[in-house]
Amino acid sequence: MTDLKNKKSIVIYFSRADENYAVGYIDKGNTEVIAEYIRDLTGAELFKVERKKPYAKDYNTCIKEAQIEQERNERPEIVKVLPSIDDYEVVYIGVPVYWGDLPQPMLTQLEKLNWNGKIVRPFTTHEGSGLGNIPNQLKSICKGAEVLNGLAIRGASVRSSKDKVADWI
């Protein structure tokens, strides 16, 4: 297998701090912890997708907001758009599973990029859904890319999962 670790890579991720299902109020989201492990292990650059109007800090309000947005298939505005991934061969895409799917702000970003010839490595944090429907979604969004097997880590165990991430890489 080709050495994915040494290819020029970027991690595009979404992650929400504030009130979390399993770990209470957190300063840094679970997915961001994994994104930073990948950066430490591979030298990848990081790009964080941020919703212009953040979801509520309160967990129950947030899940309702995200559900409505998903049912309406919205593309919420994001703080900064990454214009291109031309400089990278490998793109790690990291998200919390939201109702089985990608959070909608990731769609806003991912649909703007040219995926031709890229290698995509998905990872999720979750509370039981694993990778959910995310690999399927990425296969349809990232046209012309090869979507490899993903890594799914439970929110409550991200802070002790660096070895697991290293094995996957």
Ligand X SMILES: Cc1cc2nc3c(=O)[nH]c(=O)nc-3n(C[C@H](O)[C@H](O)[C@H](O)COP(=O)(O)O)c2cc1C
Closest CB to ligand X among residues 32, 91: 32
- C-beta closer to ligand X: residue 108 or 115: 108
Q: Per CB under 6 A, which region of 45-53, 62-70, 107-115, 134-142 contacts ligand X?
A: 62-70
- Is residue 137 part of the contact set for ligand X (CB under 6 A)? no
Q: Residues in contact with ligand X, total (CB under 6 A)? A: 22
Near ligand X in 65-104, by CB under 6 A: 66, 96-100
Distances (CA, A) of 69 to 62, 75, 83: 11, 8, 24
Question: Contact between 62 and ligand X (CB under 6 A)?
Answer: yes
Nearer to ligand X, 103 or 115 (CB): 103
Q: Shortest distance, CB of residue 117 to ligand X, whole angstroms?
A: 29
List the x/- string, 17-56, binding to ligand X by CB under 6 A.
---xx-------xxxx------------------------
16 scored as a contact of ligand X (CB under 6 A)? yes
Provide DSSP, the chain: ---GGGS-EEEEE----EEETTTEEESS-HHHHHHHHHHHHH--EEEE--BSSPPPSSHHHHHHHHHHHHHTT----BS------TT-SEEEEEEE-BTTB--HHHHHHHTTS--TT-EEEEEEEESS-TTTTHHHHHHHHSTT-EE---EEEEGGGGGG-HHHHHHH-
Binding site for ligand X (CB under 6 A): 15-16, 20-21, 29-32, 62-63, 66, 96-100, 125-129, 155
